[in-house]
Structure 1
């Protein structure tokens, strides 16, 4: 990641930066720019205010489409990764068993109906659509 020394990196103001920190991409090595919206990230890169941006695929695809910037930006596969989400609830909360059961039931229904796999497939297709060609 030393190659990114001096880079201006966009990350939405409310989003965590643990992945940047794990990669050693912290200030003062880089400059972190914190715009409020995904479209703002892309505009910052397109306008030369930032060198790179990082966001989840759905927001990236939406912002790229909105700005009609599909041919102006490239994805860096070396910096891309898939992350999982984990849901937790506080054991002393009397609603925890109910909330956990509702989430588990919904995920089970999505898997049985095939909706889960459609979502994963669509997300991967969007992700692959952002990958550089050639």
Structure 2
């Protein structure tokens, strides 16, 4: 089962990088944790994200598109970082998250969301299956 593990943003993360001392301690703790994830064969990828002030959103309404510059309101709804993990089930993902160092200087939350797999969508037309098989092959060779 693949899951996306989302580190939720906080007011601290939206302000940008912490002090060099705090950053050093956090990077060391997270580095050790990531090593454990990799050695266990759980971590497929992951990274931190810059504050929403560096981002943009594109809003869709039918054929029209509108670009919205960050920062974005509702900090608790934003994502500050992520991992993609391969786990046997949600219980294993929760157990790994419980072992995670606090990713923020203060209170924080981590959300775990399973990915849809192609089988979840049921039968596909041969054309749709071919397109998605080709995409997977290209990504695997990337």
TM-score by length of 2: 0.25
Q: Kindly indicate whether structure 1 or structure 2 has the higher relative contact order, using CA contacts under 8 Å at least 6 residues apart.
A: 2
- Name whichever structure is richer in helix by fraction: 1
Q: Which has the higher strand share?
A: 2
